[in-house]
Amino acid sequence: MTPQSQGSQGTPGRVSSAAPRLDVDALIDDPHTQIVVCCGSGGVGKTTTAAALGLRAAESGRKVVVLTIDPARRLAQSLGLTELDNTPRPVTDIDASAGGSLHAMMLDMKRTFDEVVIAHSEPGKAEQILANPFYQAVSSSFAGTQEYMAMEKLGQLKASAGTPDAPWDLIVVDTPPSRSALDFLDAPNRLGSFLDGRFIRLLTAPAKAGGRAGLKVFGVGVQLVTSTMTKILGGQMLTDVQTFVNALDTMFGGFRERADETYRLLSEDGTAFLVVAAPERDALREASYFVDRLEADGMPLAGLVVNRIGRVSATGVTPARALAAAESLEDGGGPKSASNAAGLLRLHAALVRTAERQRELADRFSRSHPGIPVVQVPALGRDVHDLDGLREIGHALAGS
């Protein structure tokens, strides 16, 4: 049974939507594809999709690294990841006969941030930053830190690609479950406008110029702003913030450059965005938003993956017919096998109705986004626990 044929089972004669089929194998087999970004709202199977795609690409000969953000423990175990140590680990037990390889890693945002600080500031200064209470809060609970660090890590993985320790030629990224859909795209810009803003100059000015004298360049408004901030935040916190911003000042420039670089990388042809959704109204509404946003940003969109399409196995009876027959069996008061047969028919009717509703939702997406390739992936009974499970999903993703 294949996913495509499932699409028309149970509802003979139904005209399927005109969405082109997303050819995942063509995408991962194309050596020009160097980055695949899986994005979508929370709970739609993004991480699983990323892992399954990475495994399939590796087993067809690509050298792959999968960057996951917050994988479920069992999924992580299925990839052989037992600890969150921020380093790509080789995944053994894959079929490497086609010459491919697979690495996988989990993002540790605090450690990534620490590494950036250590790599880009002088030793004394690095210690000062790492010990600053403001830095400690920023690096572990900063609104958006995960997005910045995912971008940073992606940049690092790309920069090291092709070296003996980093043999990969394809990076598959799972994106953070952001509160607003595509925060990771905004991360470099947000950082940029922050660094270029007057506010950071205001924060850094007093210390740089050795006291309040430095503020004169901004005029009288500044006095009011700083005194207001001192009033609201208290002097100690403002001092901590200033120390932090000053300490980061030297490395922030490089940080922004790399974030800009990563953003450029994402908009290039070698990148493919896959929007992942579940066949539910809210998830598909979010997917529409993602698709519009990616197009507005000129990002290379490969298509939509709709996960967890309900499975229908039986053919030859419509839901209405099944329900009518179930009713007559129940009314007949026959043997146990009659009530069992009625139950089977009701179950079948419910499955077909669910699948129809899901397909209608997916079709509605395709009607409002004509031309976007789509692949539908059937639901598995259980969550993925091992490489076989990931292979099965990869198989379905490829529509084979």
15 binds another protein (CB under 8 A): no
Site for another protein in 356-375 (CB under 8 A): 357
283 binds another protein (CB under 8 A): yes
Do residues 32 and 270 touch, judged by C-beta distance below 8 A? yes
Among 12, 13, 123, 381, binds another protein (CB under 8 A): 381
296 binds another protein (CB under 8 A): no
Q: In what order do the strands lie in the sheet with 374-378?
A: 89-90, 101-106, 63-68, 170-174, 35-39, 271-277, 301-309, 374-378
322 binds another protein (CB under 8 A): yes
- In the chain, where do the E strands start and end? 35-39, 63-68, 89-90, 101-106, 170-174, 271-277, 301-309, 374-378
Q: Smallest distance, Å, CB 167 to another protein?
A: 31
String of contacts with another protein for each residue 61-100, x by CB under 8 A: ---------x-xxx--------------------------
Site for another protein in 125-184 (CB under 8 A): 133-134, 137-138, 141-144, 177, 179-180
CB count in 10 Å sphere of residue 85: 12
Site for another protein in 302-321 (CB under 8 A): 311-317, 321
CA–CA distance, 105 with 255 (Å, rounded to integer): 22
Among 306, 329, 355, 396, binds another protein (CB under 8 A): 329
Under the phi-then-psi rule, with left for phi > 0, alpha for psi from -120 to 50, and beta for the rest, what region is 24? alpha
232 binds another protein (CB under 8 A): yes
CA–CA distance, 296 with 338 (Å, rounded to integer): 57
String of contacts with another protein for each residue 22-61, x by CB under 8 A: -------------------xxxx-----------------
213 binds another protein (CB under 8 A): no
CA–CA distance, 26 with 398 (Å, rounded to integer): 9
For another protein, how many residues bind (rule: CB under 8 A)? 82
CA–CA distance, 145 with 187 (Å, rounded to integer): 9
